[in-house]
Chain A
């Protein structure tokens, strides 16, 4: 019989300690990766990097966002190896996989309207991008709405044990494709734009391996942070959220000569408030239904959770749709005359976001079994 009554230090480390350390290291890693070549305020971005991998695989042809991002591979493999070491690697699946795929696709479209996943949202806040605060507001609203069906008994049903092959296939194929991207010219690679900006692949891979292991250990989750505060008054996960902001802020102050707070012309961001808000509302609502943010889904995939693997494939499909159908947000910029041009997202993107919210409500209704009072 194992008791969960360890020492105070061990309790702190298994509670707040590991989450805060993970948050601080992610923040530091994000600043370092941007310094080493990744786009500004994009040291880590699960949505952007999966979008880049979708582009590299020619699932979309937006020439400026195509690159097989080592960070994604590192996060999955880091979680995979660490869960093996801890004997927590466990192939499971079968919990409404198709529903998860589509929720994932819509979450990705929402994230690409905003131009970032919840992790990049936090990194953007630390970088002084106040549009990300509007996104955060939308994200919180989305989670608050998503918590309602959770309280009422919503569930995407049980997952069951799967074969080892089922759990291994995602990390193995991802690694094989990554190796091909390094050794052949099969995959597309941007020559201009965000896709062309990246740290040296080995450095990015190693940093992401460490971050992946830390996230597996700490269960860090951007959506879970807010959800746990609302549901259980548990501030553990949200402390990681805050730690990332602090680390990015301090990192930028030290290594990038300061932080420029503002809304207009922030790096790879637009200042269309409503689209930032709505995009992240979709991400928050969808992530609450999925049980975790895009970062968490990647980590769970590494742990052998094939439902999360399907969700990640949904993210990739969503990214392809977002770019093939002109739904992704367009960053603020300047025209040839040097005048400010406000970015934003298309009318179609607005319709898709509204459709996503309606679909999420229907998914929530049809998967909620009312609890007996």
Chain B
């Protein structure tokens, strides 16, 4: 699980990029706290051919990326 809550742009998507480059996982779980990060990660994930879904819980967004 990547916890990118409270990190300003572009840290959350950079953390996801780093994880993809390093491990190329089939599934990535990411926790962010703003819609800018959700949008950025969604676009990056699409460019890497991941499917994305997210759910909001108490102001945070739990994202799941999978191939």
Contact = CB atoms under 8 A, between A and B. Distances in A.
Interface of A: 1-5, 14-15, 86, 88, 90, 92, 94-95, 150-151, 155-156, 158-161, 219, 221, 224, 227-228, 231-234, 236, 290-292, 307, 371
Given A1-B53, A4-B53, A224 B39 contact: no
B45 to A, nearest CB: 9
B1 interface: no
14 contacts: A3-B52, A3-B53, A90-B59, A94-B6, A158-B6, A159-B7, A159-B8, A227-B10, A231-B10, A234-B44, A236-B43, A290-B8, A291-B8, A371-B18
Contact of B34 (A88, A158, A227, A232): A88
A5 B45 CA distance: 12
Contacts of A94: 6
A150 B14 contact: yes
Identify which of A1, A4, A307, A371 gathers the most chain B CB atoms within 10 Å of its CB: A4
Interface in B28-67: 33-36, 38-39, 42-44, 47, 51-56, 59
A181 B48 CA distance: 51
Contact of A2 (B5, B7, B51, B53): B53
Contacts of B2: none
Contacts of A224: 9-10
B52 A150 contact: no
Interface residues of B, number: 28
Identify which of B5, B6, B33, B51 gathers the most chain A CB atoms within 10 Å of its CB: B6
Contacts of A15: 43
Contacts of A86: 35
A73 B2 CA distance: 37
Given A233-B47, A291-B9, A291-B10, 7 more contacts: A4-B52, A92-B6, A95-B6, A150-B10, A219-B36, A232-B13, A290-B8
The 3 A-B pairs with the shortest beta carbon distances in the complex, nearest first, are A158-B6, A291-B8, A159-B6
A11 to B, nearest CB: 9
Contact of B7 (A1, A3, A155): A155
Contacts of B9: 221, 224, 291-292
Nearest to A11: B46
A87 to B, nearest CB: 9
Given A4-B52, A232-B47, A92 B33 contact: yes
Identify which of B18, B43, B59 gathers the most chain A CB atoms within 10 Å of its CB: B43
B51 to A, nearest CB: 8
A2 B6 contact: no
Contacts of B36: 219
Contact of A95 (B8, B35, B56): B8
B66 to A, nearest CB: 12
A90 B34 contact: yes
A92 B36 CA distance: 14
Contacts of B38: 4
Contacts of B33: 90, 92
Given A158-B6, A158-B7, A4 B14 contact: no
Contacts of B47: 232-234
B7 A232 contact: no
Contact of B54 (A2, A88, A233): A2
A350 to B, nearest CB: 30
A88 B56 CA distance: 12
B16 to A, nearest CB: 10
Nearest to A290: B8
A86 B56 CA distance: 14
Given A90-B59, A92-B33, A150-B14, A4 B54 contact: yes
A340 B18 CA distance: 53
